[in-house]
Amino acid sequence: MNTNANADAGDDGPTAEDRDEIPPAPTGFLRRWVFSTDHKVIGRQFLFLGLGFLAIGGVMAMLIRWQLARPGAPVPLVGRLLFGASGGVISPVAYTALFTMHGTIMIFFAVTPVLIGGFGNFLLPLLIGARDMAFPRLNMASFWIMFAATAVLTASFFVPLGPPEAGWTAYATLSTAIGAPGPGQTLWVVAIYLNGASSVMGAVNYITTVLRMRAPGMTYLRMPLTVWGFFLTSILNALFVPVLAAAMVLLFFDRVLGTQFFIAGTTPGAGGDPILYQHLFWLFGHPEVYILILPAWGIVGDLLSFFARKPLFGYRVTVGALIGVVILSTVVYGHHMFTTGLSPLLGESFMLLTMIISVPTSLIVLSWLGTLWRGAIRLQTPMLFCLGLVFTFGVGGLTGLYLADITADMYLHDTYFVVGHFHLIMAAALLMSLFAAIYFWFPKMFGRMMSEGLGKLHFWLTFVPLNLVFMGQLVIGYEGMQRRLYDPSVYDFLKPLLPLNRGISHAAYLLGAAQLIFVVNFFASLARGARAEMNPWEVGTLEWTVASPPPHHNFDRIPLVVRGPHELAHPAARSLGRDWLGQAEIVDDAPAASPTPPAREPA
């Protein structure tokens, strides 16, 4: 029985009370929708900004695939418009700029804002039972600095000598004034710096929010894995984005003030070291992989449990494994530099550490499989995308072992095998988690349901071509095709790969076209979807105890949390005629962890 909704103000004690004043909702268009300090509005702003750039980055991928399928042929439809000077053909310079900006946009301006900025903002306070972030105005500033970063990055397309062409890693000396004399690369540096500033501001906010704003009873081991994911990601962000910032500062000085941090020996006895840039970049760059994947792991862990209607298998072990990955992720970056010329001793240490990171990662995968085992699985759209992640992450993770091995990496490095590997993780697995999150929380964000039919169609037309594209890349990489080649067919030994490249491109076009289904579903549901109930997925985490969409102050009363997030198939829920218990729900015949009455309104 759902007892007691009539908890009195004085009964909860000071811990429940002292955050319990309801802030007034802002009025006026600008304060509500533009310069809002409401985490739910800021989350949606990040979501739309990121989805916009995801579309731009996706179109760039299509153009790259066109060039690899039909080298030197004019691009149909948009060719004249985009590449008018070369008669619709993608020139080598434009091709280099395309893959540079595709990588930059996808990593820094699409996945980061959607997953961390969008869902992190929207979900964190709701999932831990708070009214807002710890620092709402810092949160607003974080969004607008990200917005400024996108403006600076966009400006780099319209300057003399064009956008940057140094790859998303911007290795010196490709990115110093010698390799990139135009202002485009300088704008890129500024954009990445601003992007990093936004990430660090977000991280400070997220960490403080999780440390300080949890509802009474929300212990660390009662937090949903999604919260753990964002929390650990924020710690990595706070520690390692500043290292990238340091690299950007030095690169900026090299380009603008004429210093020589990354330029080797032009003055006798002086001079910096291009490899120094690689060290700084990957010191950040490897944790960045985990910065992006940790929230995905968190979301998928929760959702697999929800849709298998079972508690998560090994919650504590999973949390420990997540923490283990975070710690190990800080000491493996050297595996990006095996072919740079590391000391063999360093190389072997990095190889060993990289191999060790597969131990906690395997525990996380084991937890997913254990959760699915004998579950009462509901194959709704979010679950399909989660299962898609389990598969693509599995394949992507296993191919990582080849690259972690120095001798294999000597051959595979800088081939399409690397491209296939990191796309299986950074593109396939992340896109799967991102879509799972959108389909799952769309009702809470916008108060309407998305179409299940279109969602399932979208899943299959994404999942199948996605794997064809990225596994095809593994194959052509294994055959020896280097990445970043403008026209592989100029090399005799790569000529036989042209049909395979065409096949991959056709799968890529299908993948791109399938996203239109998502766009239609998203906007049609936004306008005319069925009204979402408070708890359409029948799960127990706190965001589902408030209206869809939630009111400005989230919770009328701060909830009192009495159990963990995955209480499904709970025997005590049988008397209620369902199979789940809410995190803040007191049930007569369930042993409650806290004797205090709940502070939650009845559902």
Partner 1 sequence: MTATSATTTTTTTTTTTTTSRRRETDAQVGLVIFLGATAMLFAALLLAYAIIRAQVPGAWPPAGTPPFPRGAAAANTIALVAASLALRRGRHWGPWAALGFGAAFLAAQAALWHHLVAIHLGPGAGPLGEVFFALSALHALHVLGGLIALALAGPRRLRLLTIYWDFVLVVWLVVYVAVCLL
What residues make contact with partner 1 under the rule CB under 8 A?
Answer: 9-10, 14, 17-21, 134-135, 138, 200, 203-205, 207-208, 211-213, 238-243, 245-247, 249-250, 253, 257-261, 267, 269-273, 276, 279-280, 283
Q: Which is nearer to partner 1, 263 or 426 (CB)?
A: 263
Of 415, 413, 296, 424, the closest CA to residue 364 belongs to 296
| CA-to-CA dists, residue 155 to 182, 187, 351, angstroms | 13, 8, 40
Q: CB of residue 15 vs partner 1: minimum separation in angstroms?
A: 10
Q: CB of residue 460 vs partner 1: minimum separation in angstroms?
A: 42
DSSP letter string over 292-324?
HHHHHHHHHHHHHHHHHTS--TTHHHHHHHHHH
SS3 of 69, please? Answer: helix
Q: CB of residue 205 vs partner 1: minimum separation in angstroms?
A: 7
Distance (Å, whole) CA 210 – CA 189? 31
Q: Which is nearer to partner 1, 24 or 269 (CB)?
A: 269
Q: Which is nearer to partner 1, 259 or 358 (CB)?
A: 259
Q: Which is nearer to partner 1, 200 or 471 (CB)?
A: 200
Look up tokens 């998502």; give the residue: 518
Q: CB of residue 214 vs partner 1: minimum separation in angstroms?
A: 12
DSSP letter string over 117-170?
IIIIHHHHHHHHT-SS-S-HHHHHHHHHHHHHHHHHHHHGGGSTT-S--STTTT
Q: Which is nearer to partner 1, 177 or 517 (CB)?
A: 177
Q: Which is nearer to partner 1, 14 or 84 (CB)?
A: 14
Q: CB of residue 259 vs partner 1: minimum separation in angstroms?
A: 5
Distance (Å, whole) CA 174 – CA 172? 5
Q: Which is nearer to partner 1, 22 or 376 (CB)?
A: 22
Q: Which residues pair with 448 in a beta bridge?
A: 531
For residue 157 the two structure tokens come to 């397309």
Q: CB of residue 583 vs partner 1: minimum separation in angstroms?
A: 23
Q: CB of residue 286 vs partner 1: minimum separation in angstroms?
A: 14
Distance (Å, whole) CA 378 – CA 249? 50
Q: CB of residue 283 vs partner 1: minimum separation in angstroms?
A: 7
| Angle at which helices 274-308 and 358-372 cross, to 10° | 20
Distance (Å, whole) CA 420 – CA 399? 9
DSSP letter string over 343-410?
-HHHHHHHHHHHHHTHHHHHHHHHHHHHHHTT------HHHHHHHHHHHHHHHHHHHHHHHHSHHHHH
Q: CB of residue 244 vs partner 1: minimum separation in angstroms?
A: 8
Q: CB of residue 319 vs partner 1: minimum separation in angstroms?
A: 21
Q: Which is nearer to partner 1, 249 or 356 (CB)?
A: 249
Q: Which residues pair with 2 in a beta bridge?
A: 587
Of 149, 131, 177, the closest CA to residue 37 belongs to 131
| CA-to-CA dists, residue 469 to 58, 213, 301, angstroms | 13, 43, 26
Q: Say which DSSP state 487 is in.
A: -
Distance (Å, whole) CA 593 – CA 578? 21
Q: CB of residue 230 vs partner 1: minimum separation in angstroms?
A: 14
The answer to whether the CB of 214 falls within 8 A of the CB of 206 is no
DSSP letter string over 549-590?
SPPTTS-SS-----S-S--BS-GGGGGGTSSB--TT--BTTS
Q: Which is nearer to partner 1, 138 or 363 (CB)?
A: 138
Q: Which is nearer to partner 1, 28 or 258 (CB)?
A: 258
Within a 10 A sphere around the Cβ of 400, how many other Cβ atoms? 22
Q: Which is nearer to partner 1, 269 or 591 (CB)?
A: 269
Q: Which is nearer to partner 1, 5 or 363 (CB)?
A: 5
Q: Which is nearer to partner 1, 84 or 269 (CB)?
A: 269
Distance between terminal CA atoms of the chain? 12
Q: CB of residue 241 vs partner 1: minimum separation in angstroms?
A: 7
Kindly tell me the burial class for residue 344, based on how many C-beta atoms sit within 10 Å of its own C-beta (0-12, 13-18, 19 or more): exposed
Find all residues with CB under 8 Å of 248, minimum gap 6, and list them. 189, 192, 193, 196
Q: CB of residue 137 vs partner 1: minimum separation in angstroms?
A: 12
Look up tokens 């753990």; give the residue: 228
SS3 of 249, please? Answer: helix
Q: Which is nearer to partner 1, 76 or 271 (CB)?
A: 271
Q: CB of residue 345 vs partner 1: minimum separation in angstroms?
A: 16
Which H helix or E strand runs over 327? helix 315-329
| CA-to-CA dists, residue 268 to 135, 183, 271, angstroms | 51, 28, 7
Q: CB of residue 127 vs partner 1: minimum separation in angstroms?
A: 18
Kindly tell me the burial class for residue 486, based on how many C-beta atoms sit within 10 Å of its own C-beta (0-12, 13-18, 19 or more): middle
Q: Which is nearer to partner 1, 18 or 492 (CB)?
A: 18
